[in-house]
Amino acid sequence: MMLSLKLSNVRTISLFLACWISISAAFSTGHGPRIHRQALMPTILVHGGAGDIDEDMVIRKFNGTKAAVRQGYQVLMDGGSVMDAVMETIKVLEDNPAFNAGKGAALTQPGHIETDASIMRGSDLAAGSVASVSGIRNPIVAARKVLEQTPHVQLAGDSASNWAVDQGCETEDEDYFITLHQYEYWLQWLADHNMTKSTSGEYKTMNQIETMDKWKNQKSTVGAVAIDADGNIAAGTSTGGLTGKLPGRVGDTPGIGHGVFADNDSVGVSGTGVGESFMKVGVARRVSYLVEKTGLSPNDAITETLDYMAQRVGGDGGVIAIDGAGNLGIGWNSNQMSWAYGRNGELHYGVNRGEDFVEDI
């Protein structure tokens, strides 16, 4: 592992890449910037959650995001679609207990697992998502099935779980999903709210949670954005949500335009953070809109959007994005965000501002 680029902060990565990649963008009447694509370098970009990352989790985040990027990059190198790359990448993260998605998902207030996931295809804006599903090992697979097998965009709750099982999605008992560190976060959450395991189902104190800051540091949601040589983009996001959430609570992750968005004419986006804040300002769609209509770079669009969110509704988090010209955006307004990407045979990754570790894929 070596530090290849002495960049002052991670935001400058896309400026660097913008010079590196030959691009041209022109304005066409009524549609804002349209992207004239030249040969692009296939890229897979992931995040593994934003917030305060425990010291002992950092190495697990590095290893997990790197393994996921390697998987997705291989799919792209083998000629797989961007949808395949995003799904396979997220499956690796969902199977890794270091992330709050699939195995390792956060526990609800009564101590159960309910997961959300979404995927979107930028060529035709096709989207699929599942919300509050239980027992599905890889919710991202179920989300893709919604996209491909139904006329709908989102299925939710037990009906969605049952449907996913009928569609052949792999299942697991609840014990499979519950990791020790999430169990401990849950116990801590209960203690912070004067609750115990036996009262956790009574929802006594939920009205005392006056601010979403209570959930500030509990995020390890995962997401991926991919672009191929033809400029096709896909994005996906998967989460267990927030520790202590009420049963049935749905965050931004499965919301198209909130925790995910993909449009070949603008950007692919995946977010992580306090879902209630992301939903109120439509984070992913706002990033996309800013890139498409104002010509902002993905990094600047992310910064603008997170600043706007913080001012209007509070809350923090992070966003990754790739625009149709291949420019990357990686930004967060929380303390840290786990991210990694693979491009041109190189794997870049980091969690702190200014980090850009690089190694061969």
Given the rule CB under 6 A, which residues bind ligand ASP?
Answer: 49, 100, 219-221, 239, 241-242, 251-253, 259, 272-275
Is-contact 102 138, C-beta < 8 A? Answer: yes
**Distance, CA of 319 to CA of 287 (rounded, Å):** 9
Q: In the complex, what is the shortest distance from the CB of residue 222 to ligand ASP, in angstroms, rounded to a whole number?
A: 9
Neighbours of 156 (CB within 10 A): 17
Rank residues 49 and 236 by Cβ distance to ligand ASP and give the closer one: 49
Look at residues 127, 63, 121 and name the one whose alpha carbon lies nearest to residue 95: 63
- Looking at residue 256, what DSSP letter applies? B
Between 232 and 270, CB nearer to ligand ASP? 270
Residue 90: CB minimum distance to ligand ASP, A: 13
Of 322, 287, 233, give the one whose Cα is nearest residue 13. 322
Q: Helix, strand or coil for residue 210?
A: coil
> Closest-CB residue for ligand ASP?
275
Q: Which residues contact 78 (CB under 8 A, 6 or more apart)?
A: none
Q: Is 305 a catalytic residue?
A: no
Query: Shortest distance, CB of residue 19 to ligand ASP, whole angstroms?
Result: 32
Phi, psi at 326, each rounded to 5°: 90, 5
Q: How far is the CB of 79 from ligand ASP (least distance, A)?
A: 32
Q: Write the CA distances from 48 to 60, 88, 109, 130, 177, integer angstroms.
A: 10, 15, 23, 19, 17
Cα 311 → chain centroid: 22
- From the candidates 89, 221, 237, 239, give the one annotated as an active-site residue: 221
Conformation bin of residue 135: beta by default, left when phi > 0, alpha when psi is -120 to 50: left
Nearer to ligand ASP, 182 or 253 (CB): 253
For ligand ASP, give the closer residue by CB, 218 or 232: 218
| Nearer residue to ligand ASP within complex by CB, 117 or 325 | 117
Angle at CA 164, nearest 5°, toward 162 and 166? 70
Closest approach, Cβ 318 to ligand ASP, in A, equals: 8
Pick the closer one to ligand ASP by CB: 145 or 219: 219
| Least distance to ligand ASP, CB of residue 325, Å | 27
Strand-pair partners of 244: none
CB of 6 to ligand ASP, least distance (A): 30
Q: Which is nearer to ligand ASP, 252 or 263 (CB)?
A: 252
Exposure string over 179-214, b if 16+ CB within 10 A, otherwise e: bebbeebbbebbeebebeeeebeeeeeeeeeeebeb
Q: Which residues are catalytic?
A: 221
